[in-house]
Amino acid sequence: MLKDFRCGSCKRLLARMGENTELQIKCARCGTLNHVKALEPRVIARERDERC
């Protein structure tokens, strides 16, 4: 499932993202450098769920 990634400053749509670990993108409208990083890698989350 894709999620919208918007500029933190002007809210312009920058990308639609699926699973990722890190994304850095500069907004073409306002020039703000936006950064997203996964809180927990997907592999570790799956392993944790299998143990429970």
Query: Could you read off the pLDDT of 7-47 as tens digits, one per residue?
Result: 999 999 988 877 666 788 899 999 998 888 766 655 555 55
52 belongs to a structural domain: no
pTM as predicted: 0.54
Q: Is residue 17 part of a domain?
A: yes
Parent domain of 27: 1-35
In a domain, 40, yes or no: no
How many domains does the chain contain in total? 1
Asked if the structure places residue 44 within a domain, the reply is no
Determine contact, residues 40/27, Cβ cutoff 8 Å.
Answer: no
Q: Looking at the domain assignment, is residue 26 inside a domain?
A: yes
Look at residue 22 in the predicted model and tell me its pLDDT. 76
Asked whether residue 12 is domain-assigned, the answer is yes
pLDDT at 30: 93
Does the residue 7 lie in any domain?
yes
Judged on CB neighbours under 10 Å (0-12, 13-18, 19+), 32 is middle
